[in-house]
Structure 1
Amino acid sequence: MSDHTDSFKRRLFSFFIKLTIVALILLVAIVIYFDAQIKDKFSGQKWQLPAQVFGVAHTYRDRDALTKNDLVAHLELLDYRASAQVRQPGDYKVNTDSVEFIRRAYSLYRETFAEQRLTVSFRKHRITGIVDNEQQTQLSAFTLEPYLLDRLQANSYEDRVLVELQQVPNILLHTLLTIEDRKFFDHHGVSPMAIARAMWVNVQAGRTVQGGSTLTQQLVKNMFLTNQRSLLRKAKEAIMALILDTRYSKEEILQAYLNEVYLGQNNRRSINGVGLASQFYFAKPLNELGAHEIALLIGIIKGPSYYDPRRNPERAKERRDLVLQVMAENAIISPELYQYSISQPLSVIPLKDLKKRRFPAYLDQVKAELARLSHLDTEFYSGLKIYTHFDPLAQNRAQASVQKTLREIEQQRNLNELQAAMLIADSRSGGIKAIVGDRDASYEGFNRALNAQRNIGSLIKPYVFLTALESANSYTLASILQDKPIKLTNQQGKTWAPENFDKKFSGQISLLDALVDSVNVPTVNLGMQIGVEGVIKTLKKFSVKQSIPAYPSVLLGSVTLAPFDVLQMYQALANDGILRKQHAVSAVYSNENYQLWQQPDRSQQIISEKVAYLINYSLNQVTKRGSAKSLRRALPGAQFAGKTGTTNDGRDSWFAGYDEIETAVVWLGKDNNQGLPLTGASGALKVFIDYQKSRTPENLTMAIPEGVEMRYFDKETARHSLPGCKNLVLLPAIVDALPEPKSCADSGQWREPEAEEKTWLERLFGG
């Protein structure tokens, strides 16, 4: 019996030894497997970072056209805050004739700009002084950081803004550790005492009311595991936390936690990390948060949904105040700061305001351009920095003008369901500054600015006249065109009898006046003289890619283009005949600030500078005395060039115009193509005028190029004439193509030159 018992004990002992060895081998294998997982993710790129899309970095110079209100509006778009005392970056103060603010530090491409305390002075809509308050020096210019349009996710719905540990305020670090893991720097990834304490509290409560997880365990759960509650998952979590703590420093773990912690949800995007949460809840970078805002962030960690300050503000405030109390008890904040902080509202920005900060119409163009950059390796997508020409001030002005003007038109004319598109570009670079694709700026559906194919109507007329003026030996601005009823018959026997808008005919009209007043029949007569094919060829030079049948109706705009295409056409006119491919994206950089791509600086002189001047002169006259003369009445003294456009039954109302620096195109109409009681002047032009009133336009200068001079022409015959004859008009012309001027002294048309009026100085001194 004794031998049998001893034998059984030996076998049992042997079994346990073998089982222990197997368990140890299995544990070692598990540890090796978990270690490989941790090393693979933690040592490499931990997260698939979203691509960041930035607007343009603004440079404002002394004497630039800018008002005090413009600067304040720009600062507020960048989430600067009005403050009685300018103490930290992001604060600004408005004085009688100046604005004082602390410009935030920012990085652009591979350059870093330090924060800067500035005072900018204004007088009569211009900057009159820029002072660096720290250095007490006058500056010739200052910059503002680029606007962050959006973050584009590639392969996940996680969103984050990475922060370095040294960028995180000490008050936030101390509060986090005090609330979530007081012994973080003492334990080895797992705290047995915390687990035991949590188990005791939970047993007493009869439910789970307290967790015993360290920050390291929380990080492991978020990065490697699921939220499933089970003993197996907790065991995995503990083992991996021990491995993580052994392999990496406390600082590395803490930094990873700060970038990984889940802090809320924005539709399908999860808000990960304190850097993004600071923007999501307060529209501020971390270093500008107050104690009450930091307390709310730390409080949310316990339950981002349960303590959501937008859905459950009372619950969130109670949690925040508890965290503030702990902060005060642990001397993280002073009693005075505690009293101040606890009295503050939650100050969380509404979700609808977050939605207003996104510009889906502009992002459509950015995404389209990125899709064409097929040579960019997708590995670089993580953390891409995409720089664009986006101007938040121009975008918001355009959106406001579209919304305001459409409401006014609908009320005045008893209309509804009007839609609009508007684009604004830098005339010289072709960089697109703003895109409005719907009257609702946050709408993420059909983008009319890029995709609506609409008849362009009279917007085509400058290109008909331009084609004629390129034959400088045959046509000048004084050339006489017939304005009489006409009927055209095609090969199939169908007839077309174009009419003028007012149904009247003048008999004959100068080429300039026909364009200025947008008269249909003379335009058709001119187009038939020079050939419809020639006009189509001109349109192709202006980057129109659509196939256009050579029908006479093309001459009055029976061509369907998107507003985007029209902008390209008019940008080349505004740029003195130089075509630059319009674009949103200017450059793409990697997360490490290496340039991956830059917009090529390509330009093409598609028409001569001389002909471009003649058209610009004509379109300037359109805004002074022609179909767009209401622009001059609304903005007296401002110099623009532009053209109205109207299609049959008012289905499309257009205006394309430009000053010295910007080209803008506006379209109004209905998606169902229903006719409207609107012309280009009574619809789209009103949006353009409202937009220009919201800024300080730069007057169109139109320097006369070499080879163009002001010359006299007979109004009735268009003959190049010497001064002194009756019935003359003074117009710019390409001089080397003109015949010798004719004298009218012997034709009975001579008139005595009128005495020039003396100046006040001559009258004063008897000169």
Structure 2
Amino acid sequence: MADNIDRTTSTNSIPSIFPAVGRWWRRGRLLLRWALFCLLAGVGLAILTVLYLKSKPLPPPDIGMTTQIVDVRGRAIDQWDKGEHRNYIPLKQLPASLIQATLIAEDRQFYHHHGFSPRGILRAAWVNLRSGRVAQGASTITQQLARNLYLTHDRTWSRKLKEAIYTAQLELHFSKDEILEMYLNKIYYGHGSYGAERAARAYFGKPAHRLTLAESAMLAGIPRGPRWYSPLQNETRAKQRQLAILDAMTRHRTITAQAAKQAKQEQLVFSTPPKPGPARAPWFRDVVLNEAVSRFGLDEALVQNGGLRIYTTLDLSMQEQAEHAMEHSLAAQPDLEGALISVDPQTGHIKAMVGGKDYRRSQFNRVFAKRQPGSTFKPVVYLAALERGLTPAARFESKPTSFFHEEKPYRPTNYHGRYANRFISMGEAIATSDNVYAIHTHLTIGEEETVRMARRLGIHSPLNPVPSLALGTSDVSPYEMVQVYATLAAGGMHHPPTSILRVEAPDGRVLAQAKPQEEKVLSPAEAFVMTHMLKKVFQPGGTANRVKQFLKRPVAGKTGSTDWDSWLSGYTPDLATTVWLGFDQHRPLPQGTSRLTHQAWGSFMRDALAHVKPHRFSVPQGVVRVKIDPESGLVAGSECPRTIDSYFLQGTEPRQTCSLHHPKPKEERNSSWWERIIKWWFG
């Protein structure tokens, strides 16, 4: 009994002996459960956060790159960017020395962390706590990229939180190589240079892939403080940082000690960073942007800031000659404006474009302005007439004439009231720009035929099918008129004008490429017959005969003058050009404006073709040459006092011989002049 009592007493006394141990044991198990719960919850939250950040798309990386526009020979015309002059380059095209130097200088553990450096964070946190503000950042390459892509550089806690989020997303959405490539193309190197490629060209005048180890180490030290470490502003400080980077590369066995020694001893030669200048062809540059967007469907933001390389049709040498010719011709009249467009008729490539007197004063491109073309429109009428069976020998009387349209009289007049007062041919009407003849032709074939021909030749402006249309009273643009004459120069093949050859992405991929577009709208025979008649415009008696003092080669074209507009459209086999002069406010033109127009056209064509061998307009099949008596328009006989060579579409040439000039009797041919006078006197 006593034993039982003792055992009971002994057992029941354990809790009373170790009460604290029991309580700590229960609390420990509770804390362990909570710790495990928190750990699992933390892991779950981290997984959810990662999944959320992975699913949440990042804003498009804002690496605005400089788009370059070059002429047909690769010469720079202009560039587009947001003020960040940058040439994008893939990581694989950068030298290993620059990549290694950058990693040593900015983030040695870049390939071994997930966007954050724990040691850097602890160091920065301690400094920030001691100062009571955000005074230092961890600054991994990924964090720097996040800040440069999406954020400002202010030192606030909210910005740091956003930076952490974007940093995590960058690491989740991109590979390490992609992040490094974006960084090396985004970062600022000073002196207006963004990205390694632009910096290499700015500081050393060479592409990045040609950088030496010494040059790479120098560039790698600049982004930490572009003003502080720029070798152009403080070469001593920049050199010290370069040496420190080379030493660090040696310690981390990125390079050998011998390579570092040679790099330290290398004498660096610096270049002066180029300052972007104004566009060398501003009106053409605007056309390039419009065509890239509207014709090729490229996004405008991509075109202007996507680091593209746009190869154009422009010839800067011709462009400079066009600008000089227009400047010289417009100088005499303060408010007089003008436009010039020149194209290669065989391709439609725009070779030169001037849209006005001064782009800084007015960006309006008058190449696309709608004005009355005057007599430069007449070849459209005559081409339609050739198709409808009329020939260069077709004759209408040149005299004051009243025509009726919708029962209303229409009385056109010739320039200065000059009429031949006789029947003239189509060739003579073109050379002298006879308005009455043009109206006769227009009404003979029907006004709608003229409109249809204009559409085929590239004129899409509204055209009013009335008698006066033949005289160019419907507004069209120089851009449209040059297509008419380029089609003739190309033997009837119409090529829509184009300004872009191809567009390349920063990595060299071709994003857009012009495909040859051509349409046969005239037969070569029709184009040649019209060309032969238009050549007379530049010959003695023609309205543009003064151009011959500038241009000593085969040329064809037509002048046009109204009270408000002065035109000359013409071509050789190699180049078609249209020039317009006038006032924007449709004021009457001063005397002598047509002379300025001819001067601008002639001097430009002379200079633009100075190194091009003259070519003749070759006679195609389907054309017949006939000697014509200009008085009768028939085949010239042996007694016709004057003959001209005229070309006809085969099958339309005249076959009847002229009978106006009969041969003299044999006895009259053999008698003396005195005998002929006596015979005449006595009847």
Q: Please report the TM-score for the alignment, with normalisation by the length of structure 1.
A: 0.67
Q: Distance in 1 between matches of 2:121 and 2:306?
A: 42
Greater relative CO, 1 or 2 (CA 8 Å, sep 6+): 2
Q: Distance in 1 between matches of 2:440 and 2:558?
A: 20
SS of the residue corresponding to residue 709 of structure 1 reads strand
* Cα shift at 1:221: 3.4
Change (3 A) 1:211 1:11: same
Tell me the residue number matched to 1:559: 474
Tell me the residue number matched to 1:33: 49
Matches within 5 A, 1:565-580: 565-580=480-495
Cα RMSD after superposing both structures = 5.0
Change (3 A) 1:236 1:386: closer
Tell me the residue number matched to 2:275: 350
* Cα shift at 1:576: 1.3
Change (3 A) 1:28 1:647: farther
Change (3 A) 1:336 1:716: farther
Q: Deviations over 1:181-207 (max 9, x none)?
A: 355467665445555666788899999
Tell me the residue number matched to 1:229: 155
* Cα shift at 1:223: 4.8
- More moved, 703-712 vs 31-40: 31-40
Matches within 5 A, 1:580-591: 580-584=495-499
| Aligned with residue 562 of structure 2, among 647, 651, 667 | 647
Q: Is the 8 A contact 1:31 1:239 kept in 2?
A: no
| Aligned with residue 467 of structure 1, among 384, 394, 405 | 384
Tell me the residue number matched to 1:144: none
Matches within 5 A, 1:204-283: 211-223=137-149, 227-231=153-157, 234=160, 237=163, 251-261=177-187, 273-275=195-197
Q: Distance in 2 between matches of 1:177 and 1:750?
A: 109
Unaligned segments of structure 2, at least 5 residues: 1-17, 247-259, 667-683
Q: Distance in 2 between matches of 1:464 and 1:248?
A: 64
Q: State the AA in 2 paired with 1:326.
A: R
* Cα shift at 1:615: 1.0
Change (3 A) 1:728 1:659: closer
Tell me the residue number matched to 1:609: 524
Q: Which one has a larger percent strand, Structure 1 or Structure 2?
A: 1
* Cα shift at 1:369: 6.8
Matches within 5 A, 1:594-605: 603-605=518-520
* Cα shift at 1:167: 0.9
* Cα shift at 1:730: 2.0
Structure number with bigger Rg: 2
Matches within 5 A, 1:440-519: 440=358, 445-450=363-368, 452-472=369-389, 474-476=390-392, 478-488=393-403, 490-491=405-406, 493=408, 496-508=410-422, 509-519=424-434
Q: State the AA in 1 paired with 2:334.
A: N
Change (3 A) 1:299 1:503: farther
| Aligned with residue 327 of structure 2, among 395, 401, 407 | 407
Q: Is the 8 A contact 1:666 1:685 kept in 2?
A: no
* Cα shift at 1:558: 0.4
Q: Distance in 1 between matches of 2:205 and 2:474?
A: 45
Tell me the residue number matched to 1:393: 315
Change (3 A) 1:645 1:745: closer
* Cα shift at 1:617: 1.3
Tell me the residue number matched to 1:534: 449
Matches within 5 A, 1:106-505: 161-182=87-108, 184=110, 189-192=115-118, 194=120, 211-223=137-149, 227-231=153-157, 234=160, 237=163, 251-261=177-187, 273-275=195-197, 285-287=207-209, 298=220, 301-302=223-224, 317-318=232-233, 322-328=237-243, 330=246, 331=260, 334=263, 337-338=266-267, 340-341=268-269, 344=270, 347-351=272-276, 353=277, 355-356=278-279, 359=282, 361-364=284-287, 367-368=290-291, 370-371=293-294, 390-394=312-316, 397-398=318-319, 400-411=320-331, 413=332, 415-440=333-358, 445-450=363-368, 452-472=369-389, 474-476=390-392, 478-488=393-403, 490-491=405-406, 493=408, 496-505=410-419
Change (3 A) 1:328 1:719: same
Q: Is the 8 A contact 1:53 1:387 kept in 2?
A: yes
SS of the residue corresponding to residue 731 of structure 1 reads strand
SS of the residue corresponding to residue 721 of structure 1 reads coil
Tell me the residue number matched to 2:676: none
Q: Identity over aligned residues, as a percent? A: 25
Q: Is the 8 A contact 1:480 1:716 kept in 2?
A: no
Q: Deviations over 1:476-509 (max 9, x none)?
A: 2x4444332234455475x544333343333234
Change (3 A) 1:332 1:221: farther
Q: Does 1:666 align with 2:579?
A: yes
Matches within 5 A, 1:613-628: 613-625=528-540, 626-628=542-544
Change (3 A) 1:172 1:517: farther
| Aligned with residue 712 of structure 1, among 598, 622, 627 | 627
Q: Deviations over 1:291-335 (max 9, x none)?
A: 99878865663467x68xxxxxx9883256633443256348745
* Cα shift at 1:728: 1.6
SS of the residue corresponding to residue 560 of structure 1 reads coil
Q: Distance in 2 between matches of 1:525 and 1:373?
A: 44
Q: State the AA in 1 paired with 2:223.
A: I
Change (3 A) 1:181 1:20: same
* Cα shift at 1:557: 0.7
SS of the residue corresponding to residue 660 of structure 1 reads coil
Q: Is the 8 A contact 2:391 2:648 kept in 1?
A: no
Q: Is the 8 A contact 1:383 1:590 kept in 2?
A: no
| Aligned with residue 676 of structure 1, among 589, 605, 616 | 589
Q: Distance in 2 between matches of 1:549 and 1:470?
A: 21
Tell me the residue number matched to 1:763: none
Aligned length: 632
Q: Please report the TM-score for the alignment, with normalisation by the length of structure 2.
A: 0.75
